[in-house]
Amino acid sequence: MEPAGLAGEHLLHALSRHDWDGIRRVCRPDYIHHAPGVPEAGLEKYVATLQLVVEAVPDMTIEIQQIVATEEYATLRYTVHGTHLHDFHGIPPSGAPITMPALGLVRVKDGLLAEGWYVFDSGMLIMQSPIGKAFSTKKEG
């Protein structure tokens, strides 16, 4: 596998194990994280955000579907699985299992992740919540 693909794979495995130091080891100290609707973040802010997610979904795991890589870039297609057991940004725990498909594009410099862009199917996440389920099962009439 190309260097970017290996780095991306190591990142996803570390995330699935909740291995914060492993994430730091695969990223450059000046790593920049991009995601929709939030300001870009440096490495420590990125790790802190992941820790908040794992607090809310303590059994979170990552299932890797596909990695397509060149020497400098890799596309990561994966699914996040877990159970929403604790508060997350004011959203009370539902106790419901979640499945959230995601895509990432990572850039590698000198063998380490330098930058990452991620998108998540948050609509699917909402539809798995009690409110989303209520809408999806409501009958017209």
Percent pLDDT > 90 in the chain is: 70
Please check whether residue 132 is in contact with residue 100, taking contact to mean a CB–CB distance below 8 angstroms: no
CA distance linking residue 125 with residue 23, whole number of Å: 24
Does 16 score more than 80 pLDDT?
yes
Distance spanning both ends of the chain, measured CA to CA:
55
Does 4 score more than 90 pLDDT?
yes
Q: Give domain limits for the chain.
A: 3-137
Provide the pLDDT for residue 35: 93
Please check whether residue 8 is in contact with residue 78, taking contact to mean a CB–CB distance below 8 angstroms: no
Chain-wide mean pLDDT for the chain? Answer: 89
Please check whether residue 130 is in contact with residue 108, taking contact to mean a CB–CB distance below 8 angstroms: no
- Predicted confidence (pLDDT) per residue in 57-66, tens digit: 999 999 999 9
Q: What angle do CA 128, 64, 9 make, to 5 degrees?
A: 135
Q: How would CATH label the architecture of 3-137?
A: Roll (3.10)
- Predicted confidence (pLDDT) per residue in 110-126, tens digit: 999 999 999 987 666 56
CA distance linking residue 141 with residue 129, whole number of Å: 23
Q: Mean per-residue pLDDT for 84-104?
A: 87
